[in-house]
């Protein structure tokens, strides 16, 4: 690892809420226009060099190579075959990037502007 980031720690805010959503197995419907995540992804950073510049970004990686469909009769997701080939990766740059380490560590960092989309041709910066 780069020495500038080897001591960085990231703590998920509202971890208990994220855990509740995970236990319930909730999902969200992603649209072509894009939809904001809930709960909002927020983290507390520590261990950054206060004087160095950092760019924060988020990307998403598929969990597996399957396509799913929702079965209403059983209220569950079922494997419906292999997924389409993965689209080129997209990243969402935090709007405050780049910023000094001191700024990132001063407050909770929120990715509240991030929108998820299923539009492969999106040019609005959505993921």
Host domain of residue 20: 9-59+88-116
Rg (CA), the chain: 17
Which pLDDT value is given to residue 122?
Answer: 78
Which among 17, 64, 63, 78 has a CA at the least distance from the CA of 42? 17
Q: Does residue 126 form part of some domain?
A: no
Here the CATH number for the domain that contains residue 106 is 2.60.40.820
Which pLDDT value is given to residue 10?
Answer: 95
Q: Does residue 112 form part of some domain?
A: yes
Count of domains for the chain = 1
For the segment 61-112, what is each residue's pLDDT rounded down to a tens digit? 777 888 888 888 888 888 988 887 766 677 888 999 999 999 999 999 999 9
Q: Is the pLDDT of residue 114 over 90?
A: no
Q: Under a CB-based contact definition with an 8 Å cutoff, are residues 82 and 4 in contact?
A: no
Q: Does residue 67 form part of some domain?
A: no
For the segment 32-43, what is each residue's pLDDT rounded down to a tens digit? 888 888 889 999
Q: Does residue 82 form part of some domain?
A: no
């Amino acid at each position: 690892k780069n020495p500038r980031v080897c001591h960085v720690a990231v703590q998920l805010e509202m971890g208990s809420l994220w855990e509740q959503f995970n236990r319930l197995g909730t999902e969200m419907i992603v649209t072509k226009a894009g939809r904001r995540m809930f709960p909002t992804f927020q983290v507390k950073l520590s261990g950054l060099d206060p004087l160095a510049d950092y760019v924060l970004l988020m990307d998403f990686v598929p969990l597996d190579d399957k396509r799913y469909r929702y079965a209403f009769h059983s209220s569950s997701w079922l494997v419906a075959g292999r997924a389409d080939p993965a689209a080129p990766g997209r990243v969402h740059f935090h709007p405050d990037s780049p910023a000094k380490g001191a700024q990132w560590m001063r407050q909770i960092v929120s990715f509240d502007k991030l929108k998820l989309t299923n539009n492969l041709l999106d040019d609005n910066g959505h993921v």
